[in-house]
Amino acid sequence: MEPHRVSVGNGPVSFADVLAVTRHGAPVVLSEEALESIDRARAVVEDLAAAATPVYGISTGFGALATRHIPNEMRAQLQKSLVRSHAAGSGPEVEREVVRGLMLLRLSTLATGRTGIRRETAQLLADLLTHQITPVVHEYGSLGCSGDLAPLAHCALALMGEGEVRDAAGDLMPAEKALAAAGLEPVELAAKEGLALINGTDGMLGMLVLAIGDLRMLLRTADIAAAMSVEGQLGTDRVFAPELQALRPHPGQTLSAANLTALMADSAIVASHRTGDCNRVQDAYSLRCSPQVHGAARDTVEYAATVAERELCSAVDNPVVVDGRVESNGNFHGAPVAYVLDFLAIVAADVASISERRTDRFLDKSRNHGLNPFLAADPGVDSGLMIAQYTQAAIVSELKRLAHPASVDSIPSSAMQEDHVSMGWSAARKLRSSVDGLTRVVAIEVMTAARALDMRGLHPSPATAAVVRTLREGGVQGPGPDRHLSPEIEAAVSLVASGAVLAAAESVIGELR
């Protein structure tokens, strides 16, 4: 069945639209409203292009070269030269989903009728998305100011039938060949179009939206991991009671605590801790304070989502068409997006850090309340999950380095015309690594807690029992003699990343918040 088509131009694209196009290959169509807006703005640009007075971006050079007036007969070459020279990326290829997000969000701005693009150029960009033709974009090249220039220029190059792309099957080929195979014709860029195609925050914004989607899922999964750890370490759920959370009414904390309470409902293990002969007074911070950390992370993610939603409503270009005229502006500066990308890297590092601490408690016989050292079947002969925690620790250490903000840096460019930049693309690239690292750390906690629950010999809650079953069915084995551990870690990572762990718990208790 063909994926749902995403219509661009009837208002801002949504988070769901971005995910549908980037991860599920949804085709894209420009609305009639968008095409009419594009035509109106194009008429303004053509009138200005015909005038004797130079207008930046239409009849002048760019950046530090904006003082040169370009005669009419050289303006097509001006646009080609702009795209070719700016397609200067270097390094590994950027992921397909990121490039599709880059293209979709640039198309969204084109559809506002603020850029002066022609309808046939915008339509070709939509067609590339629909035919799943993905330009090759490289890791390095964007400073996050004047937009994500180099990444977007590589996409614009493909519209010209130049550069390399990957087709729907992922095969690398010249853009001209891929366009021909899809029955598409390259465009000859006209005045203003090259600039309109490359001057946006679309790369960093697309990666922000993808990260928010991932983190929303991972934070609920982190609640599952924490609940399993509290159970497996004979902790108490009393500290998560709503009347205690109400004393500090941060919304994320309230939601996380409610999740933990629901996840541990009807647990025989937790019930065993409520007897009068239990001499434990308080659980360690990594158990007791899970809602405070996970909740603060949630609140930060939702603030980032607010920024992303504002940016999705924006028309980022320079110059822009406004009320029948063209005006220069600074809306291409990526600071608002760059800051929250950095905030989220801090969130990923800290949630991973508390997850690793909960995991480590399981492995230390002085702190795991009666379980075998390292959860080994035969300690001494077997090492159990000792080195799984090493893997977590290595990732957490890396996440702490990635939490250093990119947005505090700035390197002047373009002969000091562009003398303060956001580095938002760099912030987005490292956040993707942070999200991957958090996924792995949470997965190792889940598999560790599952082994501990099996070793307790008591009945866990129905929700966490469902997670344990999902792990066992998905290739993560239970307690036993040592075996090759890496494949089981990867299986756990896959189950967390796919949402299977979350789905298992929610199949019992309903949607987590």
Distance between CA 205 and CA 334 in Å, rounded? 9
Same domain, 85 and 213: no
Is residue 259 domain-shared with residue 306, that is, in the same domain? Answer: yes
Examine the pLDDT at 1 and tell me if it is beyond 50: no
**Does pLDDT of 349 surpass 80?**
yes
Task: Rounding to the nearest 10 degrees, give the CA dihedral for residues 324, 327, 330, 331.
Answer: 10
How high is the pLDDT of residue 275? Answer: 62
Is the same domain home to 195 and 306?
Answer: no
Q: How far apart are CA 297 and CA 110, in angstroms?
A: 34
Looking at residue 64, its pLDDT comes to 64
What does 242-267 look like in DSSP terms, one character per residue? HHHHTTS--HHHHHHHHHHHHHTTT-
Are both 273 and 406 inside the same structural domain? yes
pTM given for the model: 0.95
Lowest mean pLDDT among 120-124, 136-140, 191-195, 432-436: 191-195
**211 in the same domain as 181:** no
The mean pLDDT value of the chain amounts to 93
Does residue 273 form part of some domain?
yes
Least confident window among 18-27, 73-82, 202-211, 226-235: 73-82
Confidence of residue 274 (pLDDT cuts 50, 70, 90): low
Determine the angle formed by the axes of helices 202-232 and 500-509, rounding to 10 degrees: 60
**CATH number of the CATH domain containing 411:** 1.20.200.10
Would you say residue 19 lies in a domain?
yes
| Domain match, 176 and 211 both | no
The 3-state secondary structure of 420-455, one letter per residue: CCCCHHHHHHHHHHHHHHHHHHHHHHHHHHHHHHHH
What DSSP state is assigned to residue 275?
A: S
Residue 1 within a domain: no
Statement: residue 307 has pLDDT above 80: yes
Structural domain boundaries enclosing 139:
6-200
| pLDDT of 277 over the 70 cut | no
Span of 148-152, 158-162, 271-275, 383-387 with lowest mean pLDDT = 271-275
Confidence at residue 147, expressed as pLDDT on a 0 to 100 scale? 81
Instruction: For residue 150, give every residue at least 6 positions away whose Cβ sits within 8 Å of its Cβ, in sequence order, or none.
Output: 86, 87, 88, 89, 138, 140, 141, 142
Q: What is the mean pLDDT of residues 235-240?
A: 92
333 in any annotated domain: no
d(CA 414, CA 401) in angstroms, rounded, equals 30
Q: What is the pLDDT of residues 446-483, one digit of tens each?
A: 999 999 999 998 899 999 999 999 999 999 999 999 99
Please calculate the CA angle 331-333-337 and round it to the nearest 5 degrees: 105
Domain termination residue (choose one: 200, 232, 256):
200
Residue 361 is assigned to a structural domain of this protein: yes
Looking at residue 112, which CATH number applies to its domain?
1.10.275.10
Same domain? For 94 and 211 the reply is no
Q: Are residues 143 and 226 in the same domain?
A: no
Asked whether residue 196 falls in the same domain as residue 280, the answer is: no
Domain count, the chain: 2
Catalytic residue numbers read 56
Verify that 407 and 270 share a domain, yes or no: yes
Residues 169 and 285 both lie in one domain: no
- Residue 272 is assigned to a structural domain of this protein: yes
User: Would you say residue 437 lies in a domain?
Assistant: yes
- Among 177, 200, 223, which residue terminates a domain? 200
β-pair partners for 173 = 165
Residue 326 lies in a domain: no
pLDDT digits (tens, 9 = 90+) for 161-217: 999 999 999 999 999 999 999 999 999 999 899 999 999 999 999 999 999 999 999
* pLDDT bucket at 278, cuts 50 / 70 / 90: low
Q: Are residues 233 and 187 in the same domain?
A: no
Give residue-wise pLDDT tens across range 138-161. Answer: 999 999 888 899 999 999 999 999
Give dist(CA 41, CA 181) in Å, integer: 32
- From 178, 200, 222, the end of a domain falls on 200
**Whether pLDDT at 74 is above 70:** yes
